């Protein structure tokens, strides 16, 4: 008798077209899906993130059973649950008399290593849900002095044919980003995003999460995320028809009390497998060709999917398991309490952290230019910043989160991802948001007790990193402008910045 094999399906691999399922034999193999404490607690995940993954897993397992698969599913509170993916595989191997595991390669180095250490034969197959493979990226990267996303993106455009007219980009330009930096209108009125009321499966998961993860940062209710493919397609349809036409113009805008604006908010569904990147991009391209969405919006959206998303995955696997421990600028300040909901007078940080607490979501500019910008300016420990981003966002999985944080946001990789640090004074936040209105600090003040901390810390960052960045072609003009200022003025800025950081270190509300 031929032994059954175990087919591992992880919580971020919820696609019937995943490589492990394609390799499987429905008649004899057993699909293994497990809710385990190790995955729920390796960082203190936002309760809504845990709920999304567990609910989507349960629904996906049900759909597999309805399709004729044998599924061994471990719920988090099952008495026999060993609490880890390796433990569950060993347990079920004994139960079913299996000695081989077929898995689609996980998106985190720690799980890849854990599978390799199993006392079973494990075949880790490529995760071909992506447009490019890690090998393709490594081949592209070989011999290049700079791994700039723009050049990789153009290669992927050519490969996929998306927004191409023969060998040329649609409209004659590869990138329309210069048109996509408008602040939101005074009365934005974005479309109302789809919300899904909990069904019986979701309600059971919410009760479980409430019982086990009540201490984690983040509100569990209201929980309105899609938890199956049908619902995820509703979200995609809404974005294409209602939000995509204005997405490009306002994708960088930030508005108090408006967490979604014209964003797609499909990254959670892409990252757990309910949607696929090419189907999403093709829908957007169809909207442009039909004349219902402008090219700047469609190109900007497609670039996020087949450009940035593919690029950061390539970086993650190219750079290896030690990438998350990099700290090129030797930053070591601990994460302030206000990242976990403590008090702060900085309205921009308070708004973004509050939105994250309530929705497990902030869009890319809120992450990069508010919380990330502050962390870099203040010299926070990048490992702590990395863990925070991985913990609090519903779409955060290490392959996508780490390069965005360690590389793009914190420059901790020394320039692998970014050609310069993404830092700015309060002026950028003032331009792109309404956060500065009513703030305790004055964004126009450059020194003194009322000065916006982003203004003080920006120049403090520039000065303390002079040796590293003074000759960077993209930053040389910044140093020239700083050096033109009166020496006494520069001294006051530095002293005020040091005083502010001292109060931060002392635990004062700042």
Instruction: Give the whole-angstrom CA distance, residue 16 versus residue 7.
Output: 12
Picking from 447, 439, 455, 469, the residue whose alpha carbon sits closest to that of residue 377 is: 455
CATH fold for the domain made of 134-319: 1.25.40
In the chain, list all ranges with CATH 1.25.40.80: 134-319
3-state secondary structure of 202: helix
| Half-sphere exposure in the Cβ direction for 70 (13 Å, CA) | 13
Strands (E), 120-253: 121-125, 164-165, 168-169
- The label of the residue with tokens 């007790």 reads 449
Number of H helices and E strands in the chain, helices first, is 24, 7
Picking from 109, 126, 118, the residue whose alpha carbon sits closest to that of residue 23 is: 126
Report the relative pairing of strands 168-169 and 164-165 from DSSP bridges.
antiparallel
Instruction: Tell me the DSSP string of 394-413.
Output: TT--HHHHHIIIIIIIT-TT
CATH class assigned to 337-505: mainly alpha
Instruction: Give the whole-angstrom CA distance, residue 415 versus residue 430.
Output: 27
Reading the block at residue 430, the tokens are 């003032």
* Mutual angle of helices 200-212 and 47-66, in 10-degree steps: 140
In the chain, list all ranges with CATH 1.10.579.10: 337-505
Other Cβ atoms within 10 Å of 431 Cβ, number? 15
- What CATH number does the domain located at 6-125 have? 3.40.50.620
pLDDT tens string, the chain, 510 residues long: the values are 567 899 999 999 999 999 999 999 999 999 999 999 999 999 999 999 999 999 999 999 999 999 999 999 999 999 999 999 999 999 999 999 998 999 999 999 999 999 999 999 999 999 999 999 999 999 999 999 999 999 999 999 999 999 999 999 999 999 999 888 899 998 899 999 999 999 999 999 999 999 999 999 999 999 999 999 999 999 999 999 999 999 999 999 999 999 999 999 999 999 999 999 999 999 999 999 999 999 999 999 999 999 999 999 999 999 999 999 999 999 999 999 999 999 999 999 999 999 999 999 999 999 999 999 999 999 999 999 999 999 999 999 999 999 999 999 999 999 999 999 999 999 999 999 999 999 999 999 999 999 999 999 999 999 999 999 999 999 999 999 999 999 999 999 999 999 999 999 999 999
Reading the block at residue 421, the tokens are 């640090």
In the chain, list all ranges with CATH 3.40.50.620: 6-125
Reading the block at residue 108, the tokens are 């985190």
Tell me the C-alpha to C-alpha distance, in Å, between residue 358 and each of 115, 211, 354, 465.
Answer: 35, 18, 6, 36
CB burial of residue 343 (10 Å; 0-12, 13-18, 19+)? exposed
Instruction: Give the whole-angstrom CA distance, residue 212 versus residue 77.
Output: 9
Instruction: Give the whole-angstrom CA distance, residue 299 versus residue 264.
Output: 14
């Amino acid at each position: 008798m031929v032994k059954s094999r175990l087919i591992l399906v992880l919580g971020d691999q919820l696609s019937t077209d995943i490589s492990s399922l394609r390799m499987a034999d429905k008649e004899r193999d057993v699909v293994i899906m497990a809710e385990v404490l190790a995955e729920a607690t390796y960082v203190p995940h936002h309760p809504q993130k845990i709920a999304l993954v567990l609910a989507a897993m349960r629904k996906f397992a049900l759909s597999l059973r309805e399709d004729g698969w044998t599924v061994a599913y471990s719920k988090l509170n099952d008495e026999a649950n060993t609490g880890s993916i390796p433990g569950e595989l060993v347990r079920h191997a004994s139960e079913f008399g299996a000695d081989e595991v077929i898995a689609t390669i996980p998106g985190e180095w720690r799980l890849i290593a854990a599978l390799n250490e199993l006392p079973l034969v494990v075949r880790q197959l490529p995760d071909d849900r992506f447009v490019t493979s890690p090998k393709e990226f490594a081949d592209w990267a070989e011999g290049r002095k700079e791994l700039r996303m723009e050049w990789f993106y153009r290669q992927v455009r050519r490969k996929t044919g998306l927004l191409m007219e023969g060998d040329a980009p649609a409209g004659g330009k590869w990138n329309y980003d210069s048109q996509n930096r408008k602040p939101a209108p005074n009365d934005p009125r974005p479309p109302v995003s789809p919300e899904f009321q909990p069904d019986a499966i979701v309600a059971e998961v919410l009760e479980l999460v409430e019982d086990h993860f009540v201490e984690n940062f983040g509100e569990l209710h209201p929980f309105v995320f899609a938890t199956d493919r049908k619902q995820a397609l509703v979200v995609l349809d809404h974005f294409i028809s209602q939000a995509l036409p204005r997405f490009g113009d306002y994708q960088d805008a930030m508005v108090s009390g408006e967490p979604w604006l014209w964003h797609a908010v499909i990254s959670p569904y892409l990252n757990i497998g309910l949607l696929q990147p090419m189907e999403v991009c093709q829908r957007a391209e169809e909207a442009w060709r039909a004349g219902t969405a402008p090219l700047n919006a469609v190109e900007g959206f497609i670039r996020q999917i087949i450009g940035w998303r593919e690029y950061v995955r390539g970086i993650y696997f190219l750079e290896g398991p030690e990438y998350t421990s990099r700290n090129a600028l030797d930053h070591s300040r601990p994460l302030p309490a206000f990242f976990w909901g403590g008090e702060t007078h900085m309205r921009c940080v308070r708004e973004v952290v509050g939105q994250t607490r309530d929705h497990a979501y902030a869009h890319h500019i809120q992450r990069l230019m508010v919380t990330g910008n502050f962390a870099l300016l203040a010299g926070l420990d990048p490992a702590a910043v990395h863990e925070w981003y991985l913990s609090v966002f519903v779409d955060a999985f290490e392959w996508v989160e780490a390069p965005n944080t360690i590389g793009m946001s914190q420059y901790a990789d020394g320039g692998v991802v970014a050609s310069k640090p993404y830092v700015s004074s309060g002026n950028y936040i003032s331009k792109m948001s309404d956060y500065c209105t009513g703030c305790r600090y004055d964004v126009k003040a450059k020194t003194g007790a009322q000065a916006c901390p982003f203004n003080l810390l920006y120049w403090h960052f520039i000065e303390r990193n002079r040796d590293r960045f003074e000759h960077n072609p993209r930053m040389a003009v910044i140093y020239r402008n700083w050096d033109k200022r009166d020496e006494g003025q520069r001294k006051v800025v530095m002293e005020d910045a040091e005083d502010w950081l001292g109060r931060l270190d002392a635990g004062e509300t700042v």
